[in-house]
Structure 1
Amino acid sequence: MLHFKSIGTPLVLALALFAISGCEQAEKSAQQVLNQAAQSAKDAIDKTNEAAQQALSEATGSQAQKKPSDTERDDSAQDI
């Protein structure tokens, strides 16, 4: 007859080993999900930065064209 104590200890150790390997797999999966989320966030930030840079260059470019230069302003003041 088998004693419960002689089977129990290896069984507990085996279950603990399975639990640990399951935790490692869960940790790897979680790390992959976090890496994908970080990459997505980085891509979103990069796209937002590009759009902001483009908007800024368009805004400053159009304002620079609308403003008269200093020499034009001096000439118009002298005409008066």
Structure 2
Amino acid sequence: MSFKTLGAASLLALSMLTLAGCDQAEKSAQQVLDKAAETAKQAIDDTHKAAEQALSEATQSVTGKEKPEDDAAKKPDSSQEI
């Protein structure tokens, strides 16, 4: 009977160690997933910021090209001054 008791205690201890190991593995996996999610979010934010900047620059470039035309249209021709 002492072998059965020792076996049961060993099995219980081994099960608890396994569960503790699984819990630690789960926590580690969750930390890795959280870090990956944070990295992905940062990459998305950086990409969004770069896209907004590119759009802003493109808009300014187009707007910059239109301004001289508008200025030329507003200036009176020399023939009109005479």
Normalised TM-score (structure 2)? 0.76
Aligned residues with identical type, % of pairs: 53
Report how many aligned residue pairs link the two structures. Answer: 72
- 5+ residue gaps, structure 2: 77-82
TM alignment of 1:40-59, pairs within 5 A: 40-59=39-58
Q: Matches of 2:40 and 2:46 in 1, distance apart?
A: 10
Secondary structure of 2:55's counterpart equals helix
Q: How many Å apart are 1:4 and its aligned residue?
A: 2.3
Normalised TM-score (structure 1)? 0.78
- What is the match of residue 78 of structure 1? none
- What is the match of residue 38 of structure 1? 37
Q: Aligned Cα RMSD in Å? A: 2.1
- 5+ residue gaps, structure 1: 76-80
